[in-house]
Structure 1
């Protein structure tokens, strides 16, 4: 029965001690999904669908209605030999319904649809590029929170160590081994630690709030930020979405060129017109009558003063612009990668030195601890050595976080 109660207690207690956690990759995914700009991708898709329907409607019969009533100052008069024909009325009326059906336009409709599809890809890729550029902002916020989180843990460890030392000093004072008031120095240092902890907590809360707004996801103050294990791969090729965007822009220009090449092609249309008016097609019948006409017509722009050719030449220049932009982007990105790699190398050398410094500081603090117990040094001297060790350990934490941030930024610049 006792064992059952213990199991039930653990099961009930688990949710209360369970702590929410978040990872860097989750932040990447959330900002891509929830940032307001992400909605534009679906809006572009809906807009493209409507535009495509409008273009496709050109293949359907086009129906038009026309009605007119006129009064003219003069009408055709017939010679006396035909005086038996009733003269035409000066007031005339006509209502017609016309149907036009596109039969052939050289593939211009299909080319227009292809161009719209290419434009959609370009717009959606531009949204993706803008969202991707938020990753470095996510990195800065995430690792800043992580630094505050790790600094808090180190500060707590220092506080625990000082509290234990305070008890030892108070015991030494009681037995006359340690100088009186030595405990006051430790108590003052503990108060400073509380101030530092409150400052860290405030800064961390501000960072979390900013990150939460960016990814549109509530983050509790007690949330644990997981330390990512980031590795960089020194590859020669870039995989940035901007490169795909440049390619989509070139594809869009090529589709526009195809459309221009088909715009001057002959267009064949069928038409039919039915109407009711006075007079009708028979001008000699001066009465209201129905009528109709059917036929086909060809429309062909034989010469446009080389306007089409010049438009295609302009598009070719635009292609050259995009090639130039691609070249510039690759150059600047590789420069940024080299700078970031130098930063990584520098921080790694700092970490090696930090570890050596901390080992020396621990030896010094161990000696100071022994001297404090024997009354050789004061509490102030001990705190000085403890603070030196804490600051160096905090520097190591800072460099470790900076190293991971530099690697994360390297991967974002690379496109990994």
Structure 2
């Protein structure tokens, strides 16, 4: 069976080998980890891509203010042509050919477009803001992943420190047991039991260090820094809890609503009258003289007014669709805030639980320590055996680990609330 920690350590080693010249980071705080992770996450490169795409799109929209040039051509054959039903003596009235040709260019210049181009640029800018905010929403999720790794490493550090204290207690009992064995007051098996416990504790150290190394590696990949056992992760300070919700998703919903408002204005703009200048020039048979059968050049120009009547047939439906989309966004935002409130309530309950547990942790540890110290004296005097002593040492160890766990879980709960509310 493949060990996931071994696989992860191999991946990390390959990643670190690509930047061997980079110095090891000696200390790190949680805010620094958040900032560096957000800066180095691969998705962050989309910011520049969105900016470039928006600039090109706005430039393209601005082209609508310049004259629009089109070249058209056609060749037709028709079943009948215009004829003059008169016969004038001495005059040859030509008959038009049924095959006709035209090639022309047309230049159009908007004088008034109902504000369509201006609103189109506004829609492009709003959509760009929406994409940037969607990116911020995704990058914000990285913060939670960094929190999990950071607090996981802190917990592993505390467990290693407690393991060291546990080994010292076992070693103290082992020294007294060996003295008793040498004096014939204890069996050799009593020493073997403590030796086994010491080896078991050393095995646990190996497991804890391997897990911590894997967590440090993952955190290092997030922040693009080399982290090892020498790196000191500073314990975060306790955070005040705020009920305000400042998540980036709220701005994302607001920008979606703003985009719909711009679309509503565009719907009205496309149904407004349009006014512009035009010039058409070309060659054809016939040209402007419909009685001529020769290829001739021509031109004409003027002012063109366009009133889009058919657009008003669908205006009401388009507005209704926009209203539905707007309501759907409101429902999504309401659902999001509802889920946020549920999460905060749960996290507040967790924080309150750990506060209550911490109130009795010190008392439990004090009692367990006094029992262990008494057990060590009893072991030295032969009143209890090594198994009894190990049981009391383990009980004290579990009490201390429980306090460490409760402290870090309380701190983590506070930062989880901070993440959930966006403060």
TM-score where L is the length of structure 1: 0.86
- Residue 298 of structure 1 is matched in structure 2 by 305
Q: What are the Cα deviations for residues 38-66 of structure 1, in whole angstroms up to 9, with x where unaligned? A: 33343333333332222222211111122
- Residue 358 of structure 2 is matched in structure 1 by 351
3-state secondary structure, aligned to 1:133: helix
On the 8 A contact 1:178/1:374 being kept in 2, the answer is: no
Matched, 1:243 2:250: yes
3-state secondary structure, aligned to 2:151: helix
When residues 306 and 278 of structure 1 are mapped into structure 2, their CA distance, relative to the original with a 3 A threshold, is closer
- Specify which of 356, 380, 399 is matched with residue 392 of structure 1: 399
Matched, 1:112 2:133: no
On the 8 A contact 1:118/1:248 being kept in 2, the answer is: yes
Q: What are the Cα deviations for residues 172-196 of structure 1, in whole angstroms up to 9, with x where unaligned? A: 5445565555432222111111111
When residues 214 and 280 of structure 1 are mapped into structure 2, their CA distance, relative to the original with a 3 A threshold, is same
Q: Which runs of 5+ in 2 are unaligned?
A: 1-22
Q: What are the Cα deviations for residues 375-409 of structure 1, in whole angstroms up to 9, with x where unaligned? A: 33333322222121111111111111111111111
- Residue 55 of structure 2 is matched in structure 1 by 49
The answer to which of 40-49 and 307-316 deviates more is: 40-49
| Aligned Cα root-mean-square deviation (Å) | 2.7
Q: What are the Cα deviations for residues 217-263 of structure 1, in whole angstroms up to 9, with x where unaligned? A: 55435433322113132x34211112222211211111111112222
TM-fit CA distance, 1:88: 4.2
On the 8 A contact 2:169/2:393 being kept in 1, the answer is: no
- Residue 95 of structure 1 is matched in structure 2 by 103
- Specify which of 240, 258, 273 is matched with residue 280 of structure 2: 273
The answer to which of 277-286 and 259-268 deviates more is: 277-286
Distance 1:412 1:19 in 2: 25
Matched, 1:154 2:162: yes
Matched, 1:141 2:149: yes
On the 8 A contact 2:25/2:226 being kept in 1, the answer is: no
3-state secondary structure, aligned to 1:64: strand
When residues 18 and 139 of structure 1 are mapped into structure 2, their CA distance, relative to the original with a 3 A threshold, is closer
Q: Which runs of 5+ in 1 are unaligned?
A: 1-16
- Residue 10 of structure 2 is matched in structure 1 by none
Matched, 1:170 2:178: yes
Distance 1:18 1:262 in 2: 60
When residues 174 and 398 of structure 1 are mapped into structure 2, their CA distance, relative to the original with a 3 A threshold, is same
Matched, 1:64 2:70: yes
TM-fit CA distance, 1:290: 2.3
Distance 2:398 2:93 in 1: 117
Distance 1:59 1:40 in 2: 30
When residues 105 and 19 of structure 1 are mapped into structure 2, their CA distance, relative to the original with a 3 A threshold, is closer
Distance 2:317 2:24 in 1: 69
Distance 1:323 1:218 in 2: 44
On the 8 A contact 2:348/2:417 being kept in 1, the answer is: yes
Distance 2:135 2:171 in 1: 54
- Residue 129 of structure 1 is matched in structure 2 by 137
3-state secondary structure, aligned to 1:265: coil
- Residue 20 of structure 1 is matched in structure 2 by 26
The answer to which of 332-341 and 289-298 deviates more is: 332-341
On the 8 A contact 2:275/2:303 being kept in 1, the answer is: yes
- Residue 36 of structure 1 is matched in structure 2 by 42
- Residue 382 of structure 1 is matched in structure 2 by 389
Within-5 A mapping of 1:79-94: 79-81=86-88, 83-85=91-93, 87-89=95-97, 91-94=99-102
Aligned residues: 399
When residues 19 and 166 of structure 1 are mapped into structure 2, their CA distance, relative to the original with a 3 A threshold, is farther
Distance 2:319 2:365 in 1: 68
TM-fit CA distance, 1:361: 1.0
TM-fit CA distance, 1:87: 4.7
Distance 1:360 1:18 in 2: 43
On the 8 A contact 2:51/2:128 being kept in 1, the answer is: yes
Q: What are the Cα deviations for residues 140-183 of structure 1, in whole angstroms up to 9, with x where unaligned? A: 23222221121012112322343354344434544556555543
- Specify which of 224, 231, 241 is matched with residue 223 of structure 1: 231
3-state secondary structure, aligned to 2:301: strand
When residues 48 and 18 of structure 1 are mapped into structure 2, their CA distance, relative to the original with a 3 A threshold, is closer
Distance 2:309 2:95 in 1: 44
When residues 291 and 238 of structure 1 are mapped into structure 2, their CA distance, relative to the original with a 3 A threshold, is same
